Structure 1
Amino acid sequence: MLLSPFEWMIAKRYMLPGRGEAFIALVAGISLVAVSLGVAALVIVMSVMNGFRAELFDKIVGLNGHAIIQAYGGRLDNWQTVLQEVRKTPGVTRASPLIEQPLLATFNGRVEAILARGNTPEDIQRLQPQLKAGSLAPLRPGADQVAIGSRLAQNLGVQVGDTITIINPQGRSTPFGTVPRQIAYQVASIFEIGVYDYDQAFVVMPIPDAQTLLLTGDTIGMIEVTTVDPDKVGEIMAPLTRRLAGQAIVQDWRTINASLFEALAVERVAMFVVLSIIVLVAVFNILSSLIMLVRAKTRDIAILRTMGATRRSLMKIFVTAGFLIGAMGTLAGVLLGFVFLFFRQPIVRGVEILTGQNLWDPSIRFLTELPSRTDPVEVTVICVLALVLSFLATLYPASRAAGTDPVQVLRYE
């Protein structure tokens, strides 16, 4: 719907405040600000929700793989054979033996619940990007060296080089009863994965050391599997599920973290619907400002009609005037949303300083920082939604302006 120079000139004049029309201009300005705030809120919230899900997925799956093969009873005896079968399965890119057991750790009178994790040397080296202090090189079988999470180190008051004691309640039997097994390990490194629960509990060591600590012999507890496509992990692992029935259970990342990711999906949809109402309210402001503009310009509209302006021209003029408010508000909202996302961490810290409240508690939010990941498709959908609603809001006032009868208006002029 292209405008002629005449129509464009009239539309621009109607968009600018005229004498005695400051209130109409104020309402139009409020409409523009409301649209921009609604669009910005949608962009910010959807980007944060996407970032939250993506960060959780990357960190959880990056540490635990796409699927876990866990033996019944916690011990997989013929794990070498099973491991070879898993690695030969089409679609599997990596499979590693793994030991995981909840235990206790002590240091200088402090006691913390931990998750002792036995990994292969290759898997231990995957912690290198998350390393905060120390080195992973000393983590060799028989060296009694471990890497621990940053929150656990903080809770125990441990630094690199200190020695912690790990307690296994299932110790050796003696005439006086079962004596818990206690082994001292030197902290070789401290890592921070970014997931609070992991950083608070994980103690990583080589598999042979974990087997010695847990008195399991040459057995493991589970096999960690990574596939070519995490969304198709169920199809890829289906043959192994049937083959290992009765011996081990196969769980993928959806099953292990089902409640968390389902809650995120529901919350994401709910937030989109609720925040879309803000844009809808802003669009009603555009509607009201155009209705007032049409009433204020009734005499001008009648004169334009007598000078030869068609109903179609008047429709185009008022639709353009209202639509441009929505378009400018949408553009401003997208820019405002991107600026907020870029400075999100300083903004969160600033609000925390002003309010004295901890807005982002890692123990509740799982992640240590406010995440963000913008989806261009979602931003496009938000922009299209705002523009379509803005266009629809202009149709009624524009049709009223186009339906003005110049004879009735100018009868007494």
Structure 2
Amino acid sequence: MILNAHEKMIAKRYLVPVKGERFIFVVAGFSVGAVALGVAALIIVMSVMNGFRAELFEKISGLNGHAIIQGYDGRLADWEQIAERARKTPGIQSATPLIEQPLMASANGRVEGVLVRGNRIEDIRSNPVLNGKVLSGDLKNITPGSNRVAIGVRLAETLGAFPGSEISLISPEGRATPVGTVPRIVTYEVGAVFEVGIFEYDKAFVIMPMEDAQTLLMLGDLVGMVEVQTDDPDNVREILAPLQPLVNGKGVIVDWRQMNSALFEALEIERVAMFVVLCIIILVAAFNIASSLIMLVRAKTRDIAILRTMGASRGSMLKIFMTVGLTIGTFGIVIGLALGAIFLFFRQGVVNVIQLLTGQNLWDPSVRFLTELPSRTDPLEVAAIVAVTLVLTYFATLFPARGAAATDPVQVLRYE
């Protein structure tokens, strides 16, 4: 919208309050604040939702892969052939054998359900999710035949275990006796305690070398599954399709969507719902802008009539009041962007302060899965939020601006 010098001067004059117009300026200020809060709320919520999904995906796929090829009875036959074929398939980065079995763990008189994972020793040490997440001990202590394991920090707290202490793993598949099957109990030393940041994993995982897991579960040379990482997680089904004939009759292929379908679908639905709900805040702010402009037009009716008699066109009046409304909306957007950026930068500190003041645990890891409030801002989403706000502001200013442009100077000045 291009304005000439006179139109710019008048628009600037209408943005600055004079005596008798303070109330209109206050309403305009509330409009700016409402737009700012709406934009900030949308950016904060969408960034947190994106961060929550991204953190969950990175950590879940880092430990479970983008897909697994799992044997029907927990034993995958010909896994070496399947893994080798997978590594040669275009789009697949890696295919590693894995053993995963739910068992019971006991220490210090406490018993807890755990998920035992057997990995090759090189996979344990190169796993990006575990690297740098060891709180005590050392993953180098975990070697085949050492009878040492790594456990999650929440599990360590529950069992009262620490590096150097012992825990017993109880497997229901033990030796047969005349009175029935006796559970297999094997004692291991805790070699490291880690925290990956997902509560359920930190509370359940017991990681050990694959050879030790095969011995514990009496699998021989077999494994339970092959974990697959791909170049494009969104197209994992198409990438793994060539492996389906080889897997038929031996097991199933399960991708990350199937493994966590309920969680990620719920996140996506909540993300869309929150966007729609928070857009209503911006819509209310747009109505505030419209109301402040309507009051401004009514207060300036005599000025508008005089300008029209001096030669100002209807288009000029339309542009002047549209500029006033869009300027209010733009100020609100800029302030909202700043508020959103500040909140996201200090987000964890803000949560901690609110928890301290209220005495409530606002971010319970057992409910939220992650131990800290995540954030990941998408520039395209920010651009979409700004665009939506500008469009709503435009339509909100259109009605009062057209009313100003339609003012009949003859009718207004007749009784002056």
When normalised by structure 1's length, the TM-score is 0.98
Equivalences for 1:8-407 in 2 at 5 Å? Answer: 8-125=8-125, 126=127, 127-407=130-410
Larger displacement relative to structure 2 (102-111 or 235-244): 235-244
- CA distance in 2: counterparts of 1:157 and 1:368, whole angstroms: 20
Contact 2:82 2:246 in 1 (8 A): no
Deviation per residue, 1:71-92 (Å, 9 max, x gap): 0111123222222222222221
Contact 2:72 2:252 in 1 (8 A): yes
Counterpart amino acid of residue 39 in structure 1: V
Contact 2:106 2:112 in 1 (8 A): yes
How many residues were matched structurally? 413
Can you give the 5+ residue segments of structure 2 that lack an aligned partner in the other structure?
none
Deviation per residue, 1:275-330 (Å, 9 max, x gap): 00110000000000000000001111111111221111111111101110000001
- CA distance in 1: counterparts of 2:355 and 2:252, whole angstroms: 45
Contact 1:103 1:166 in 2 (8 A): yes
Contact 2:152 2:194 in 1 (8 A): yes
- CA distance in 2: counterparts of 1:366 and 1:187, whole angstroms: 24
Greater than 6 Å deviation, 4+ residue runs = none
Counterpart amino acid of residue 166 in structure 2: T
Contact 1:77 1:218 in 2 (8 A): no
Q: Is the partner of 1:249 in helix, strand or coil?
A: strand
Contact 1:145 1:205 in 2 (8 A): yes
Counterpart amino acid of residue 294 in structure 2: I
Deviation per residue, 1:244-272 (Å, 9 max, x gap): 11111001101111111111111111110
- CA distance in 2: counterparts of 1:341 and 1:17, whole angstroms: 34
TM-superposed CA distance for 1:177, in Å, is 2.5
Identity %: 62
Q: Is the partner of 1:33 in helix, strand or coil?
A: helix
- CA distance in 2: counterparts of 1:391 and 1:260, whole angstroms: 38
Can you give the 5+ residue segments of structure 1 that lack an aligned partner in the other structure?
none
Contact 2:32 2:329 in 1 (8 A): yes
Contact 1:98 1:220 in 2 (8 A): yes
TM-superposed CA distance for 1:158, in Å, is 1.1
- CA distance in 2: counterparts of 1:78 and 1:14, whole angstroms: 79
- CA distance in 2: counterparts of 1:310 and 1:128, whole angstroms: 69
Q: Is the partner of 2:112 in helix, strand or coil?
A: strand
Q: Is the partner of 1:165 in helix, strand or coil?
A: strand
Counterpart amino acid of residue 189 in structure 2: Q
- CA distance in 2: counterparts of 1:369 and 1:392, whole angstroms: 40
- CA distance in 1: counterparts of 2:122 and 2:179, whole angstroms: 42
Deviation per residue, 1:67-125 (Å, 9 max, x gap): 10000111123222222222222221101110001111111101111001100112211
Counterpart amino acid of residue 79 in structure 2: W
Deviation per residue, 1:2-29 (Å, 9 max, x gap): 1111111111111111111111111100
TM-superposed CA distance for 1:56, in Å, is 0.6
When normalised by structure 2's length, the TM-score is 0.98
